[in-house]
């Protein structure tokens, strides 16, 4: 049975779509479940269209964050994922949740971390006048957008860019680096260790380059 992964989403789900499009041989992984905190998120329809089981855990239905995350963990663990992927999941997770999936929780973020953690990254990059922008896949630790970096890709910032145009250029690359990171993890090549992310036993930030996507 292929390596089972779970994907957490909140919205439109284009990064999920990229994983769905590559699931199986290319990804070396099987998407066992897609879980959304937002009922009706377009990402859920993408999963359903691909025949992937879905679940909704609406944060608004729980008395606090702990109760919400308990339900989230139950929805995920019912499918025994070996990796959990945050693909546009818009809730901040507690250290307890992050600890439950320690070393097997990754996120895609639309900036070159550590620059521009948080929201509105493209507008902030334009306001800052940077020449290059990009996207990052990283392991998730307790601090928001702070965990060990797995893989980054850069794109140029053009003089005529709007936040939307820049976002589209970055998104195209997100759709490549996220499946790449999943594939490495499923192949056993990527690990999160005390000293950081390691690919083939070497520091990921030194050696990780797109290979397959």
Residues contacting 157, CB < 8 A, separation 6+: 125, 126, 130, 131, 132, 133, 166
149-156 sheet: strands from edge to edge: 54-56, 29-36, 3-9, 83-86, 105-109, 132-139, 149-156
Residues contacting 149, CB < 8 A, separation 6+: 113, 136, 137, 138, 196, 197, 204, 205
Residue with Cβ nearer ligand GRF (15 or 192): 15
CB of 90 to ligand GRF, least distance (A): 7
| Residue whose Cβ sits closest to ligand GRF | 88
Residues belonging to the active site = 109
Residue with Cβ nearer ligand GRF (13 or 148): 13
Residue with Cβ nearer ligand GRF (27 or 43): 43
134: tokens are 């990009």
CB of 201 to ligand GRF, least distance (A): 28
Instruction: Give me the residues that bind ligand GRF (CB under 6 A), please.
Output: 11-15, 43, 87-88, 108-110, 171, 174
CB of 174 to ligand GRF, least distance (A): 5
């Amino acid at each position: 049975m292929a390596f089972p992964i779970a994907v957490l989403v909140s919205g439109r789900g284009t990064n999920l779509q990229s994983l769905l499009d590559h699931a199986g041989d290319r990804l070396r992984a099987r998407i066992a479940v897609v879980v959304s905190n937002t009922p009706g998120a377009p990402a859920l329809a993408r999963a359903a269209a691909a025949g992937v089981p879905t679940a909704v855990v609406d944060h608004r239905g729980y008395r606090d964050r702990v109760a919400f995350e308990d339900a989230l963990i139950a929805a995920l663990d019912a499918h025994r994922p070996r990796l959990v992927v945050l693909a546009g999941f818009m809730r901040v997770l507690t250290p307890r949740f992050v600890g439950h999936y320690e070393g097997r929780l990754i996120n895609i973020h639309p900036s070159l971390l550590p620059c521009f953690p948080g929201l509105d990254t493209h507008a902030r990059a334009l306001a800052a006048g940077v020449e290059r922008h990009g996207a990052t896949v990283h392991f998730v630790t307790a601090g928001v957008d702070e965990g060990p970096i797995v893989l980054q890709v850069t794109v140029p910032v053009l003089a005529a860019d709007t936040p939307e145009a820049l976002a589209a250029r970055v998104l195209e690359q997100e759709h490549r680096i996220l499946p790449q990171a999943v594939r490495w993890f499923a192949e056993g090549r990527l690990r999160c260790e005390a000293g950081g992310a390691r690919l083939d036993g070497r520091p990921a930030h030194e050696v990780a380059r797109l290979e397959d996507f």
